[in-house]
Homo-oligomer: A and B are copies of this chain.
Amino acid sequence: MHDVAELAGVSIKTVSNVVNGYPHIRPATRARVEDAIAQLGYQVNISARNLRQGRTGMIGLAVPELSLPYFAELADSVIRAAEGAGLTVLIEQTSAVRERELEVLSGQRRHLTDGLIFSPLDLGPEDTDSFAVDFPMVLLGERVFGAPADHVTMNNVEAARAATQHLIDLGRRRIAVIGAHEGESIGSAALRVRGYREALEAAGLPFDPALIGEAGLWHRSTGAEAMHRMLDSGVEVDAVFALNDALALGALHVLHARRVAVPEQIAVIGFDDIDDAAYSSPTLSTVSPGREEIARTAVELLVARIAGGSEALPYQQVVADYSIVVRESTAGVGAAPLVAGLSGSGGA
């Protein structure tokens, strides 16, 4: 380690920080240290280090449902980010069941791992106290804000406004939403509908409740059902903002089956940029919510929290950048894939 520090021209502490995966190291410094490590063939004995520090070398990841492509791809991204820090990820599925989400927080299983990345889907603001846990934890998602934990989230309102604005820019005026959750004031659905309404308002377009399509879980099947109901209602529609890609793919399926031309008659945009969005027919325009960045940041924050003890650092909230990915379902066949409207606000 001394040799690495000398060769890289940094302190031993810096080498240690890089090796232990601390965030907030300047990329150039990190690169110098990593080069020196590679040149000298320096190897961290992860198992020995864990043993010495009373750690397991494992972190937990609790997500609602792996059959939702967004969470399967998020898990994959977290696993890859954790690998870089020498950590194995154990994944738990909560099925968005309240009891199981509380179990994840109860700590009964937490001695197995050094820390937890947790994306709740049923717990809400009234459960903030339950999030005061005595182990390192990073929260994901839009259900709980202000909990005593690091939190990585996406800019739902602004991204939804940008997605809606993209449809308005194409001249669409009768923009339906698919995937709303009536009566909910928190969570992704509420935030994305808020962004949609803000975009309408900014463009001077009226808000029409008949254009709001409800859906329960955000699957292809529920998206298909909501699209059918919307078309059957006879309401005039020239665009659809589906609150996630699975819903959008279900809607595309119905539009295809009912011989509605996409995007000529109805343009469609989703949210998530799952792998499938680039391969559907037509390919799906969508919001890329920065999944890789969310996963990487969550792992970095958790690693710092594990290293620093649970009270050492102030809690951070990081908002990932998003972008609008324009594909055939809004721009038409033959359109080159285009990433537009890059925006977002990082920081604590």
Contacts and interface: CB of A to CB of B under 8 A. Distances in A.
A253 interface: yes
A255 to B, nearest CB: 9
B58 A109 contact: yes
Closest 8 CB pairs of A and B: A72-B72, A91-B91, A67-B76, A256-B281, A253-B279, A90-B90, A220-B279, A281-B281
16 contacts: A66-B66, A66-B91, A67-B76, A67-B275, A69-B69, A75-B93, A79-B93, A88-B92, A88-B109, A91-B92, A220-B275, A220-B276, A249-B276, A253-B279, A276-B276, A281-B281
B281 A252 contact: yes
A19 B152 CA distance: 41
Contacts of A79: 66, 93, 95
Contacts of A72: 66-67, 69, 72
Interface of A: 58, 65-67, 69, 72-73, 75-76, 79, 88-93, 95, 109, 112, 219-220, 224, 249-250, 252-253, 256, 275-276, 278-283
A281 B279 contact: no
A337 to B, nearest CB: 12
Contacts of A90: 90-92, 112
Identical subunits present:
2
Contacts of A89: 92-93
Contacts of A281: 252-253, 256, 280-281
A257 B224 CA distance: 24
A69 B279 CA distance: 14
Contact of A76 (B65, B109, B249, B275): B65
Contacts of A249: 276, 279
Contacts of A256: 281-282
Contacts of A95: 79
Contacts of A279: 220, 224, 249-250, 252-253
A244 to B, nearest CB: 14
A43 to B, nearest CB: 14
A66 B58 contact: no
Contacts of A67: 72-73, 76, 275
A112 B76 CA distance: 22
A52 B76 CA distance: 36
Given A66-B76, A67-B76, 7 more contacts: A66-B73, A67-B72, A79-B93, A90-B92, A90-B112, A91-B92, A220-B279
Contact of A75 (B66, B250, B252): B66
Contacts of A69: 69, 72
Contacts of A282: 256
A287 to B, nearest CB: 19
A278 B75 CA distance: 24
A280 B276 CA distance: 10
A66 B295 CA distance: 15
